[in-house]
Chain A
Amino acid sequence: MTQKGNGEPVNKLKVGMYWAASCGGCDISLLEIGPHILELIQIADIAFWPCAADFKYKHVAAYPDGYMDVCFFNGGIRSNEQERIARLLRKKSKSLISYGECAVDGGIPSLANLKTREEIFDAAYYHNPSIDNPNGIEPQEITEIEFGELEIPSFYRHVLRLKDIVHVDYEIPGCPPQADRVWEAIGAVTGGAVPLKNDMVKVACFDKSVCDECPLEKKLEKIKGFKRPHEARPEPDWCLLEQGFICMGPATRSGCGALCIKGGLPCRGCYGPSGKVEDQGTAMVSAIASILDARDEETAKKLIDQIVDPVGTFYRFSMSASHLKGSKQ
Chain B
Amino acid sequence: MTMEKTNVPERWEPRIIGFLCYWCSYTGADSAGTARMKYPPNVDVIKVMCSGRIDPELITTAFANGADGVLVAGCHIGDCHYMEGNFKTMARMPLMRRILEDLGIEPERFEHQWISAAEGEKFVKTVTSITENVRKLGPLNWPKLMKERGVGHGMDLEPWGD
Number of A interface residues in the complex (CB < 8 A) = 54
Residue of B whose beta carbon sits closest to that of A63: B161
Number of B interface residues in the complex (CB < 8 A) = 40
| Complex interface: chain A residues within 8 A of B150 (CB) | 156-158, 160, 164, 325-326
Cβ-neighbour of A297 out of B59, B77, B95, B162 (below 8 A): B77
A200 lies within 8 A of chain B by Cβ = no
Q: How far is the CB of B104 from chain A (nearest CB, A)?
A: 3
- One of B17-25, B28-36, B84-92, B126-134 at the interface: B84-92
Residue of A whose beta carbon sits closest to that of B89: A289
A45 to B103, CA, bound (A): 45
Q: How far is the CB of B158 from chain A (nearest CB, A)?
A: 7
A61 to B162, CA, bound (A): 7
Q: How far is the CB of A54 from chain B (nearest CB, A)?
A: 17
Check B91 against A58 for contact (C-beta < 8 Å).
Answer: no
- One of B1-9, B43-51, B141-149 at the interface: B141-149
B83 lies within 8 A of chain A by Cβ = no
A88 lies within 8 A of chain B by Cβ = yes
Check B99 against A285 for contact (C-beta < 8 Å).
Answer: yes
Residue of A whose beta carbon sits closest to that of B100: A324
| Complex interface: chain A residues within 8 A of B87 (CB) | 294-295
The total of interchain contacts (Cβ-Cβ below 8 angstroms) comes to: 146
Cβ-neighbour of A83 out of B55, B98, B104, B157 (below 8 A): B157
| Complex interface: chain B residues within 8 A of A290 (CB) | 88, 91-92
Q: A286-B56, A324-B64 are in contact. Are A80 and B104 (CB under 8 A)?
A: no
B57 lies within 8 A of chain A by Cβ = yes
| Complex interface: chain A residues within 8 A of B56 (CB) | 282-283, 285-286
Residue of B whose beta carbon sits closest to that of A302: B94
Check B88 against A289 for contact (C-beta < 8 Å).
Answer: yes
Check B99 against A327 for contact (C-beta < 8 Å).
Answer: no
| Complex interface: chain B residues within 8 A of A296 (CB) | 77, 90
A228 lies within 8 A of chain B by Cβ = no
A230 lies within 8 A of chain B by Cβ = no
B10 lies within 8 A of chain A by Cβ = no
| Complex interface: chain A residues within 8 A of B95 (CB) | 285, 288-289, 304, 307, 310
B63 lies within 8 A of chain A by Cβ = yes
Top-6 shortest CB links A-B:
A61-B161, A328-B104, A158-B150, A289-B91, A282-B56, A87-B159
A-B contact pairs, 20 of them (CB 8 A): A84-B159, A87-B158, A156-B153, A156-B154, A160-B150, A164-B152, A277-B57, A282-B56, A288-B95, A290-B92, A297-B94, A304-B95, A307-B95, A309-B102, A323-B63, A323-B64, A324-B63, A324-B103, A324-B105, A326-B150
